[in-house]
């Protein structure tokens, strides 16, 4: 069944190549080709037959870094137009159940990984690129963080001195790419992806699986390499920081003291007690002692007279 499927797909690929040699896919029985060795010097192109009538052209120069172009092979002839190109800024491509991934792209030993999913299970094969040099801190570009946004979309997140960058790719069907960055955090093409707090210290990529959904999912951007700094001053979006508490106005009353009869059980503020004159307090106290003394003497005389 799989052989018949591959044959039909190859026939469609031939017709597509004759009409419009746009990126298409053909997965048929592997055709033997002459493959260059992987010990070629960095910068030279290494051609590797990766099966299913596909040829990978791999290079790793100091200027471009690792680079892989996938070409369709028809009747033993490699088509000049690449089906896709993988590099440090675009590391994943998927078509017809096969996913091509450029792994370890920031290291000196990158690898092309090909995963084929079939009804019987699947296979995973790896093809090392020519050795090169790892990304140095001087380049100040972070590792690529790949986030799956659903079954048919993926986003590649990077961080550089210019700020966050998100490249959204459609993995199936017609090509569709959306690029977001600090100066363009929202896309005119779709409302389902955006960058929140693009000029802040911790920007966040948000997406919805379907456009009609109300809630967003989120993923953080990778950090800058050590020793790298942003080219701009970070500014947080409004609402990302808690609002400061309002300060009391000068001269505003901070405590309420009841007046009149209600004041019998009220406590005076500390500053009111401290400001009370001591002489007045002592005089009032002496007057109260005299009054209570006179009352006590009057009661004693009345009792003596009643007993006499």
pLDDT in tens, 266-275: 444 433 333 4
204-230 average pLDDT score: 86
Q: 206: Cβ–Cβ under 8 A, 6 or more apart, which residues? A: 193, 194, 195, 196, 216, 217, 218
- Rounded distance, CA 66 to CA 210, Å? 34
Comparing CA positions, the residue from 54, 94, 59 lying closest to residue 70 is 54
Q: How far apart are the first and last CA of the chain?
A: 136
String of b and e for 235-265 (b: at least 16 CB within 10 Å)? Answer: eeeeeeeeeeeeeeeeeeeeeeeeeeeeeee
Q: What is the spatial distance between Cα 16 and Cα 58, in angstroms, rounded to a whole number?
A: 25
Distance CA 200, CA 195 (A): 11
Q: Mean per-residue pLDDT for 216-242?
A: 82
Under a CB-based contact definition with an 8 Å cutoff, are residues 146 and 154 in contact? yes
Mean pLDDT of the chain: 73
pLDDT band at 225 (very low <50, low <70, confident <90, very high): confident
- Answer yes or no: is pLDDT of 18 > 50: no
What token pair was written down for 33?
Answer: 């080709």
> What 8-state DSSP symbol labels residue 8?
H
Q: What is the chain's length? A: 308
Share of the chain above pLDDT 70, in %: 60
Give the helix, strand, coil percentages of the chain, each rounded to 5.
Answer: 20, 30, 50
pLDDT of residue 253: 55
Instruction: Kindly state the tokens that stand for 150.
Output: 């659903």
Confidence of residue 250 (pLDDT cuts 50, 70, 90): low
Task: Answer yes or no: are the C-beta atoms of 257 and 263 closer than 8 Å.
Answer: yes
Based on DSSP, count helices (H) and strands (E) in the chain, helices before strands.
Answer: 3, 16
* Lowest pLDDT segment from 17-31, 170-184, 228-242: 17-31
Give the distance from CA 259 to its chain's centroid. Answer: 60
Please tell me the predicted confidence (pLDDT) of residue 88: 86
Query: Once rounded to an integer, what is the mean pLDDT over residues 93-98?
Result: 86
Asked whether residue 174 carries a pLDDT value surpassing 90, the answer given is: no
- Higher-pLDDT residue of 244 and 280 is 244
**CA angle 248-252-257, nearest 5°?**
125
Q: How far apart are CA 182 and CA 203, in angstroms?
A: 9
What is the structure's pLDDT at 4? 47
Instruction: Please check whether residue 286 is in contact with residue 293, taking contact to mean a CB–CB distance below 8 angstroms.
Output: no
């Amino acid at each position: 069944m799989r052989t018949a499927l591959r044959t039909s797909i190859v026939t469609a690929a031939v017709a597509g190549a004759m009409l419009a040699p746009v990126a298409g896919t053909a997965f048929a029985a592997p055709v033997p080709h002459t493959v260059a060795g992987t010990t070629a010097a960095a910068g030279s192109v290494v051609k590797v037959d990766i099966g299913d009538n596909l040829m990978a052209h791999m290079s790793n120069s100091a200027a471009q870094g690792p680079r892989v172009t996938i070409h369709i092979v028809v009747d033993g002839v490699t088509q000049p137009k690449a089906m896709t190109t993988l590099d440090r800024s675009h590391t994943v491509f998927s078509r017809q159940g096969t996913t091509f991934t450029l792994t370890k792209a920031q290291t000196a030993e990158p690898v092309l990984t090909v995963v084929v999913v079939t009804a019987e299970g699947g296979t995973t094969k790896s093809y090392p690129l020519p050795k090169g040099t790892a990304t140095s801190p001087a380049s100040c570009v972070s590792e690529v963080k790949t986030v799956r946004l659903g079954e048919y979309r993926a986003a590649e997140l990077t961080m550089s001195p210019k700020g966050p960058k998100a490249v959204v790719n459609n993995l199936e069907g017609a090509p569709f790419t959306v690029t977001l960055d600090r100066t363009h955090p929202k896309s005119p093409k779709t409302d389902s992806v955006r960058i929140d707090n693009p000029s802040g210290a911790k920007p966040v990529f948000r997406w919805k699986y379907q456009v009609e959904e109300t809630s967003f999912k989120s993923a953080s951007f990778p950090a800058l390499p050590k020793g790298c700094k942003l080219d701009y001053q970070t500014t947080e979006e409004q609402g990302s920081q808690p609002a400061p508490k309002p300060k009391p106005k000068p001269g505003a009353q901070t405590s309420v003291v009841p007046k009149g009869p209600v004041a019998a059980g009220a406590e005076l503020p500390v500053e009111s007690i401290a400001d009370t004159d001591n002489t007045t307090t002592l005089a009032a106290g002496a007057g109260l002692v005299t009054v209570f003394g006179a009352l006590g003497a009057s009661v004693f005389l009345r009792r003596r007279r009643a007993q006499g």
